[in-house]
Amino acid sequence: MSSQDLLARGPLVLTFYRGAWCPFCNLDLQALEEVRPDIEARGALLMAVSQQTAANSRKSQRNNRLGFPIVGDKGGELAAKFGIRWHLPEDLQAIHKQLGADLVAFNGEDSWTLPMPARYVIGQDGVIAYAEINPDYTRRPEPSDVLPVLDELKRSGAT
């Protein structure tokens, strides 16, 4: 399904996350799941994006009990289009491997890239109405921060 098809259904709340191996990401996904009914009540769709393999995305959905989809971003191509993909230097690659987060295994490719955690609200007109990006993966916006943005889109007719 294309972004145009998705936006024809309503605004899109899009969240980029690093993967099933990241405890901060899992907590964020769980928090998003808690506000998903409020997001959907405003006519919006919630979707997560990760470079991990489809099997790892299914694991994330199952373990975090998510009712929204996780779409794959092979090699971080979509993250690159949003300007949030970065390459891990060799010293961080080694640390990730030591901690059990071998991105080659998790992502099924060897780019050693990750998205910065980011959240967007995209109106049906394709315009980004809200963006929160933080290179510090331990700091995430409150999921409820998107609700006033969705309300404003609805009031302005830009949904």
- pLDDT, tens digit (0-9, with 9 covering 90-100), for 120-152: 999 999 999 999 998 888 888 899 999 999 999
- d(CA 124, CA 159) in angstroms, rounded, equals 5
What region does 13 belong to: left with phi over 0, alpha with psi -120 to 50, or beta? beta
Is it the case that residue 1 has pLDDT exceeding 80? Answer: no
- d(CA 159, CA 157) in angstroms, rounded, equals 5
Is it the case that residue 9 has pLDDT exceeding 90? Answer: no
- d(CA 144, CA 159) in angstroms, rounded, equals 18
Tell me which residue of 104, 52, 102, 46 sits closest to 76, measured CA to CA.
52
- pLDDT, tens digit (0-9, with 9 covering 90-100), for 39-87: 999 999 999 999 999 999 999 999 999 999 999 999 999 999 999 999 9
Residue 107, both tokens: 């992502």
3-state secondary structure 82-135: CCCEEECCHHHHHHHHHCCCCHHHHHCCCCCEEECCEEEEECCCCCEEEEEECC
pLDDT, position 127? 92
Residue 156: how many other CB atoms lie within 10 Å: 10
- pLDDT, tens digit (0-9, with 9 covering 90-100), for 75-117: 999 999 999 999 999 999 999 888 888 899 999 999 999 999 9
pLDDT, position 157? 76
